[in-house]
Structure 1
Amino acid sequence: MRTIKDLDIDGKRVFIRCDFNVPKDEDGNITDDRRIRGALATIRYCLDRDCKVILASHYERPTAGVYEEKYSLATVVKRLKKLLKIAHNITLTTDVIGEDAQEKVANIKSGEVVVLENLRFEAGETDNDKEFAKKLADMADIYINDAFGACHRAHASIEAMANFFDKEHKAAGFLLAKEVKFFQKAIDNPQRPFIAVVGGSKVSGKLEALRHLLDKVDKIIIGGGMAFTFLKAQGYEIGQSLVENDLLDEARTVMIKARKQKV
């Protein structure tokens, strides 16, 4: 895997796809900033090389085309300023590919950071739209993917955008490279018994991972909100708990395969 260290990035416009989808409390305060901290090494590496840094991330699931303050990356930017300690050099755009974003990116100077507003405010992000991806790609010379938590999604800033850069102008950030190296070792040469713990709120985003893991592991433990879909698929009452009813059959298929493979 090519990493940012393999590229010539000095003084260039670098687009870093981050994962700033951090948890917040009912008042909108960030309760865990580890995902923001995880991106710092890549951001600092670029700033140390006088790059013009463009950061982008999604946050939760807003209605595309509708701006809602609770889905803004403003709180993330505030925390980022505190962590990077270069507050005066970090700005947030009021849109994603609109006039404000274009102007701020066009005027960015070396050592400065522009954060695009929540990518999912644009329908093109989740639609993996090529035209939307091209507008993002036109902002930068270099594309860096450091969003390990979002890499399983075929979204514009993850998949379509990367296709507009050749191998000399795209790579993984430090966080992504570290996570891939860790999981590669765990999956290719695991210690036995090999037990996978899979959690989160949505089954839909983890079906492929579950199918793949069935051929690799000895046991799978499913927790978090997604567990309720599997419990309901087995006939248990789950009350008002989170469930994806459209995936009950898929959950049953996964469990049938697991039993056959004695997982």
Structure 2
Amino acid sequence: MVKKTVKDLDLKDKKVLVRADFNVPMKNGQITNDNRIQAALPTLEYILEQGGKVIVFSHLGRVKTEEDKEGKSLRPVAERLGELLGKDVTFVPETRGEELEKAIDSLSSGNVLMFENTRFEDIDGKKESKNDPELGKYWAGLGDVFVNDAFGTAHRAHASNVGIASNIESAVGFLVEKEIKFIGGAVDEPQRPFVAILGGAKVSDKIGVIENLLSKADKVLIGGGMTYTFYKAQGKAIGNSLVEEDKIDLARELLSKAGDKLILPVDSVAATEFSNDAPSEVVGDEIPEGKMGLDIGPETIDLFRKELEGAKTVVWNGPMGVFEMENFAKGTAAVCEILAKLEEATTIIGGGDSATAAQQLGFEEDFSHISTGGGASLEYLEGKELPGLAVIPDK
């Protein structure tokens, strides 16, 4: 998939609408992690260097009622963006109307304006989230060209991505281009051996990904809570471990279809309760009565290390255990370390909790690519078409 990019657009003196993903974590009106703002800087700086006028916008959280607007304004984001760009960012606390239109009309080349949270349009009939055609057309009319650099919403057809792109000349930004290159490249044309590592709590969250990657990867390594649904499908004891009873038949089917391609843990770290302070022990591939598996064990770490030897492409989505608790983070940390030391391999984290884990454990710089979109990267790994990308013309 080779999409038209921001470099294919004439930007000089143009009003450039940029859909960014500034859905950042906030506490008491303060941004607690600005990674998503920093990730958008290369695209915004390029447009400014080319003499464009940047009109940037995003959603922030879920907004369904007037009360939900509390603490969801993009004003703090505009202020932080200004600090990172080293220039003032004009903030307009509206999503439409005369104040916004006048501010855009008076914007000079090389300057930046941000307007309010696009989800504020969801209070009266979900106009943003349901891709209201009138709203998409209105926003498109505010600019000359559109750049979608919000991969995190690419799996949704919203007015602020699909709606605008349907009405105006459009391209992707550098961040989305990178996501297409790494995740799309891994799934469509991987260098081999290609190994996928899938973790997280539930099989149901990853059914499509497992099925798609079983047809593409050389090996699929399974960890996390979904291990125990697979164990139960094999008739093994799982104690009090997490299990999806309604997915046991599906797990059995996947095991049968996969043959030796699907690798399950051979041991677990089990505890009596879901608590960092609970006494824990390493057990084999059956969990004793009264205990629950909360992480992969040392033998599994060794097994995964062997399976990853010589891999040229690795995609990882989902932690190996309850990494938020220090005593059950060893498996996830070990996978981070193994991947960080792989030579001449393209290593990709598909967003979500595994991305958070890599960042928290200090391995962020050791991966070829960490996706900015949890849900979007999952659907991309499933082989689904993402509406926010499909609407952008090919190069």
Relative to the length of structure 1, the TM-score reads: 0.78
Amino acid at match of 1:183: I
Give a deviation string over 1:3-50, Cα, whole Å, max 9, x none: 1111111110000110001123x3332222111111111111111122
Contact 2:211 2:254 in 1 (8 A): no
- In structure 2, the residue matched to 1:109 is 108
**What is the SS of the residue equivalent to 2:128?**
helix
1:121 to 2:120 alignment: yes
- Mark the CA change 1:109 to 1:209 in structure 2 (over 3 Å): closer, same or farther: farther
1:184 to 2:187 alignment: no
Contact 1:144 1:173 in 2 (8 A): yes
Aligned length: 241
- In structure 1, the residue matched to 2:391 is none
Amino acid at match of 2:6: I
Quick one: distance in 2 between partners of 1:86 and 1:254? 54
Greater CA deviation, 150-159 or 67-76?
67-76
- In structure 2, the residue matched to 1:242 is none
Greater CA deviation, 37-46 or 108-117?
108-117
Contact 2:62 2:119 in 1 (8 A): yes
Contact 2:6 2:171 in 1 (8 A): yes
Contact 2:21 2:149 in 1 (8 A): yes
Quick one: distance in 2 between partners of 1:220 and 1:52? 47
Amino acid at match of 1:170: S
Q: Which has the higher strand share?
A: 2
- In structure 2, the residue matched to 1:9 is 11
Quick one: distance in 2 between partners of 1:255 and 1:101? 53
Amino acid at match of 2:109: S
Contact 2:53 2:108 in 1 (8 A): yes
Give a deviation string over 1:75-107, Cα, whole Å, max 9, x none: 2111101100002xx111111123332232222
- In structure 1, the residue matched to 2:93 is 94
In the TM superposition, residue 58 of structure 1 has moved relative to its aligned partner by 0.8
1:162 to 2:161 alignment: no
- Mark the CA change 1:222 to 1:180 in structure 2 (over 3 Å): closer, same or farther: farther
- Mark the CA change 1:100 to 1:45 in structure 2 (over 3 Å): closer, same or farther: same
Quick one: distance in 2 between partners of 1:21 and 1:113? 19
* Structure 2 unaligned spans of 5+: 233-237, 263-395
Amino acid at match of 1:97: R
**What is the SS of the residue equivalent to 1:100?**
helix
- In structure 2, the residue matched to 1:46 is 47
1:142 to 2:136 alignment: no
- In structure 2, the residue matched to 1:153 is 156
Contact 2:200 2:223 in 1 (8 A): yes
**What is the SS of the residue equivalent to 2:146?**
strand
Quick one: distance in 2 between partners of 1:107 and 1:253? 62
Amino acid at match of 2:134: E
Quick one: distance in 1 between partners of 2:31 and 2:65? 23
Greater CA deviation, 55-64 or 208-217?
208-217
In the TM superposition, residue 61 of structure 1 has moved relative to its aligned partner by 0.7
Quick one: distance in 1 between partners of 2:41 and 2:12? 18
- Mark the CA change 1:163 to 1:182 in structure 2 (over 3 Å): closer, same or farther: same
Quick one: distance in 2 between partners of 1:12 and 1:54? 10
- Mark the CA change 1:194 to 1:143 in structure 2 (over 3 Å): closer, same or farther: same
* Structure 1 unaligned spans of 5+: 240-244
Give a deviation string over 1:164-194, Cα, whole Å, max 9, x none: 12xxx21111111112111122112143352
- In structure 1, the residue matched to 2:84 is 83
In the TM superposition, residue 207 of structure 1 has moved relative to its aligned partner by 7.3
Task: Report % sequence identity.
Answer: 35
Please tell me whether Structure 1 or Structure 2 has the larger radius of gyration of its CA atoms.
Answer: 2
Amino acid at match of 1:134: K
Contact 1:64 1:120 in 2 (8 A): no
From 129, 134, 138, the equivalent of 1:131 is 134
Amino acid at match of 1:143: F
What is the root-mean-square deviation of aligned Cα atoms in Å?
A: 3.2
Quick one: distance in 2 between partners of 1:17 and 1:159? 11
Quick one: distance in 2 between partners of 1:12 and 1:116? 17
**What is the SS of the residue equivalent to 1:115?**
strand
- Mark the CA change 1:85 to 1:122 in structure 2 (over 3 Å): closer, same or farther: same
**What is the SS of the residue equivalent to 2:16?**
strand
Quick one: distance in 1 between partners of 2:248 and 2:115? 40
Quick one: distance in 1 between partners of 2:195 and 2:67? 44
Quick one: distance in 2 between partners of 1:157 and 1:220? 37
1:261 to 2:244 alignment: no
Q: Using CA pairs under 8 Å that are at least 6 residues apart, name the structure with larger relative contact order, 1 or 2.
A: 1
Greater CA deviation, 183-192 or 34-43?
183-192
Greater CA deviation, 58-67 or 37-46?
58-67
